[in-house]
Chain A
Amino acid sequence: MSSLGAILNSAVTSMQASQLGIAIGSNNISNAQNPEYTRQRLITAPGASLESRISIGSGVDVVRIEALRNRMIESRRLQETSSQAGADLLHRTLSDIEVQFSDTDTSGLMQSLSKFFNSFQTLSTDPASPNFRQQVRTNAQSLMTQFRTLHDNLANAKTLLDRSIAEKVSTVNSLARQIAHVSGQIADQETNGPANDLRDQRAELVKQLSGIVDVNELETDDKFYQLTIGNNRLLVFGTDTAPLGTQEDLPAMFNSGEIHSAIDARDNYIPRYMDALDEMAYEIVRQVNSKHSAGYDLNGNKGIDFFQPMGGSADASALMSLSSAVAGSASKIAASGASDGNDNRVAAQIGNLLFQPVFTGGSVSDQYRNLVFNVGSDVSNAQLNLNQHEAMARQLELRRQSMSGVSIDEETVQILQFQRAYQASARLIKTVDELTQTILGI
């Protein structure tokens, strides 16, 4: 037989549990707007029976407060965060670069190229004209300026990426220290029970980290925490960290994340565009010089270079300049194919370089077209890639929210339930009290 005291006890455990349940509901609602928060639940079990003959439970036992977390989704989400952040950085970087290659029929490098070569055609209509000669030099100057600007902007983009990589490496190390610190706190606290809030805090830090580098978390059954980045580079083990150094072989280390994309843009995309520009500039210098040096200037002299000759295409778009002869006097521009008179053959030949397919891969305009096309499709692919990862990241986020997110309606229902249970238990205590009165009144 159960004593009145036992019933009273059972009611008290119920009231305590309900109160705890309401507190948890309140905590859930308080954090409802935080997407990184994991909702918590009160896990209870029926209290053990105190008597053996007729088994009635002894109320309710609070087992633990559980955070509703799905490890699978969490780790897929980390991967996707890496991919998305990386795709985003690549897309942003390339979009910035792309703007410079947005030619129209009135602006852009193609305009400068056309103007430069066309000024030789104009010179061919009157090779003796000092104005036309000056025009050739002016247009050459603005072509060189345009090339240099494009080159400098690409070089600046590279420098910015360098700086940003260094910053991100130090962010990785700072996050690693924080993660190790929180892991230590978790280990301390979990001797008593699950440290849900600290785990949320760590998950948030790891998520930040996963945007920068690809991460892999490992927690052993005895709660030992280990975090590796990239291709199994150990970063955090327990409460210790192995800071990332800039001297390490970063390009080979990562598979996704911002550092990976920054390195990809710096070492692959930008150099490709620069090489294409340099190659164009170098070929222009070479082709123009080869025609020019075979021609005769206004004074019947031969063998003059138009551009300062260059040994190779390295940085040609930044280094191209007029030869000192042509820079010194426009009369040194060789327009003629013969020493007597001022015929226009060489000027016309140089002008014709605009459309003649004598450059690698066609004409100079074909070369530039290819570059514009490549830049455009790189950005458009980066955009597609970003859209794809955004959609996947969103899907995973929804699945995570579905598991771990707080629904205020649901919490309201839970709180109502606990409230009713609390009220009923309180009522029970009153009933026991009345029963006791009855007994005392005998």
Chain B
Amino acid sequence: MRIPDNASYMNFLYDLQKTQEQFLDAQSQVTSGRKVQKPSDDPGAASDIVRLSGEKSEDEQFLKNIESARSRLSATDVMLDGVEIMVERARQLGLSSLGSLSNASAYKAEIEGLRDQLIQSANATHQGRYLFGGSVTTAAPFVKQNDSSVTYGGNSTAIELQVGRNATLQAQLPGDEVFAGSVDIFSTMKDLLAALDARNHDGVAAQVKKLEQFSETVSTARSRVGGFINVADAMSSQLSAAGLSRAKELNDVQSADTAQAITQLTLSQTSLQATLAVGARIAQRSLLDYL
């Protein structure tokens, strides 16, 4: 086959162009640290990156939701702890008064104080939102009326947050469930005060009994809250674990293997140098040199 001068140069230029492309590609993999820089580098991987990055931000959001639920549940737990202590104190006062009902007014003052504190606890806020109003979060749910009775202005909605694609977590307890459930603590307190006023031994005893029942309600509520917190912990460690393996997967599809990329760069550099060396020789061989 005749190999005219143009053919040698054309071949050389074509090869040079291809090796330069490879070199540039290897170079940008090393400098950018990314294997897939545009979808056509690997359409499957590019689509995986979209999926993984979507899942990543999804899970990050779930973790935020879990944190939000957890901090609210912890605040609820702290409040309920205080309620338990106050109710226990009220129960003890009630019990003690039974032995000296003549002295009832001394007990009454402290019990009235406890009742007001209980109202305060039931109207506790967390980050500016009422904890025990159900979905009514911007108005105090428990309102003391003129006749000292307390009405509930919230609702029974249990707020749930999305913490996984198919998982929700209850983030707070509606106040009516805790404070006005099987035992309505505020009418119990009101009745207890009235019984003390009336020096009614049986009446006081009956309300003390109710306070005991209420303690159980609160303790049940606390264990529910504890349960929710446990779920939150479990979900959050599950999401973190999934996040780790996703980060690895994302790294595998998205990031260049540095060792491999640098090897590739060295290889393509060598072949680029070889191509250039060959190019320099094309011009060197000519019959004219020998004439």
Mark contacts of B149-190 with chain A using CB atoms, 8 A cut-off: 1 yes-contact digit, 0 otherwise: 000001101011110010010010000000000000000000
Pairwise interchain contact B137-A401, C-beta atoms closer than 8 A: no
Interface positions of A from 324 to 361, Cβ below 8 Å from B? 336, 338, 340-344, 348, 351-352, 354-355
Pairwise interchain contact B5-A407, C-beta atoms closer than 8 A: yes
Residues of B within 8 A of A114 (CB): 53-54, 57-58, 61
A376 to B96, CA, bound (A): 81
Closest to B171 in A: A125
In the complex, whether A73 has a CB less than 8 A from a CB of chain B is: no
Mark contacts of A234-271 with chain B using CB atoms, 8 A cut-off: 1 yes-contact digit, 0 otherwise: 00000000000000000000000000000000000000
Given A105-B56, A341-B137, A379-B38, CB of A372 within 8 Å of CB of B254: no
In the complex, whether A380 has a CB less than 8 A from a CB of chain B is: yes
Residues of A within 8 A of B154 (CB): 341
Pairwise interchain contact B287-A352, C-beta atoms closer than 8 A: no
List A residues at the B interface (Cβ < 8 Å): 32-33, 35, 39, 95, 98-99, 101-106, 108, 110-111, 113-115, 118, 121-122, 124-128, 336, 338, 340-344, 348, 351-352, 354-355, 365-366, 368-370, 372-380, 383, 394, 397-398, 401-403, 405-410, 412-413, 416
Residues of B within 8 A of A39 (CB): 4
In the complex, whether B241 has a CB less than 8 A from a CB of chain A is: no
Pairwise interchain contact A377-B51, C-beta atoms closer than 8 A: no
Pairwise interchain contact A105-B254, C-beta atoms closer than 8 A: yes
A51 to B42, CA, bound (A): 81
In the complex, whether B259 has a CB less than 8 A from a CB of chain A is: no
For B6, give its contact among A33, A118, A412 (CB under 8 Å). Answer: A33
Q: Which of B37, B46, B68 has the most CB of A within 10 A?
A: B46
Residues of A within 8 A of B287 (CB): 408-409, 412-413
Residues of A within 8 A of B2 (CB): 402-403, 405, 407, 410
A104 to B65, CA, bound (A): 24
Pairwise interchain contact A105-B11, C-beta atoms closer than 8 A: no
Pairwise interchain contact B6-A376, C-beta atoms closer than 8 A: no
Closest to B51 in A: A369
Pair count A-B, CB < 8 A: 203
Residues of B within 8 A of A373 (CB): 39, 43-44, 46-47
Residues of A within 8 A of B4 (CB): 32, 39, 401-402, 405-407, 410
Closest to A398 in B: B7
**Cβ of B222 to closest chain A Cβ, rounded Å:** 22
Q: Which of B39, B44, B57, B159 has the most CB of A within 10 A?
A: B39
Residues of B within 8 A of A106 (CB): 53
Pairwise interchain contact B54-A341, C-beta atoms closer than 8 A: no
Pairwise interchain contact A105-B49, C-beta atoms closer than 8 A: yes
**Cβ of B285 to closest chain A Cβ, rounded Å:** 9
Residues of B within 8 A of A118 (CB): 57-58, 60-61
Residues of B within 8 A of A95 (CB): 38, 40
For A365, give its contact among B51, B127, B161 (CB under 8 Å). Answer: B51
Closest to B126 in A: A126
In the complex, whether B136 has a CB less than 8 A from a CB of chain A is: yes
For B161, give its contact among A113, A115, A125, A416 (CB under 8 Å). Answer: A125
Pairwise interchain contact A405-B6, C-beta atoms closer than 8 A: yes
In the complex, whether B224 has a CB less than 8 A from a CB of chain A is: no
A127 to B49, CA, bound (A): 32
Residues of B within 8 A of A125 (CB): 64-65, 68-69, 161, 171
Sample of 25 A–B contacts (CB below 8 Å):
A33-B5, A99-B38, A103-B49, A104-B254, A105-B56, A105-B250, A105-B254, A113-B54, A121-B65, A122-B61, A126-B68, A341-B134, A341-B154, A342-B137, A348-B160, A352-B165, A365-B54, A375-B43, A379-B39, A394-B10, A401-B6, A402-B2, A405-B4, A408-B288, A409-B287
Residues of A within 8 A of B47 (CB): 369-370, 372-373, 376
Give the interface size bracket for B toward A.
Answer: 35 or more
Residues of A within 8 A of B267 (CB): none
Q: Which of A32, A113, A376 has the most CB of B within 10 A?
A: A376
A222 to B160, CA, bound (A): 91
Q: Which of A383, A401, A403 has the most CB of B within 10 A?
A: A401
Residues of B within 8 A of A101 (CB): 39, 46
A33 to B6, CA, bound (A): 6
In the complex, whether B286 has a CB less than 8 A from a CB of chain A is: yes
Closest to B42 in A: A376
**Cβ of B170 to closest chain A Cβ, rounded Å:** 12
Pairwise interchain contact A341-B135, C-beta atoms closer than 8 A: yes
Pairwise interchain contact A405-B162, C-beta atoms closer than 8 A: no
**Cβ of A100 to closest chain B Cβ, rounded Å:** 10
Closest to A351 in B: B162
A300 to B42, CA, bound (A): 50
Pairwise interchain contact B135-A104, C-beta atoms closer than 8 A: no
Given A105-B53, A128-B129, A341-B133, CB of A402 within 8 Å of CB of B7: yes
Q: Which of A104, A105, A368, A397 has the most CB of B within 10 A?
A: A105
Pairwise interchain contact A376-B286, C-beta atoms closer than 8 A: no
For B39, give its contact among A354, A376, A407 (CB under 8 Å). Answer: A376
Mark contacts of B64-104 with chain A using CB atoms, 8 A cut-off: 1 yes-contact digit, 0 otherwise: 11001100000000000000000000000000000000000
A369 to B46, CA, bound (A): 8
Closest to B157 in A: A343
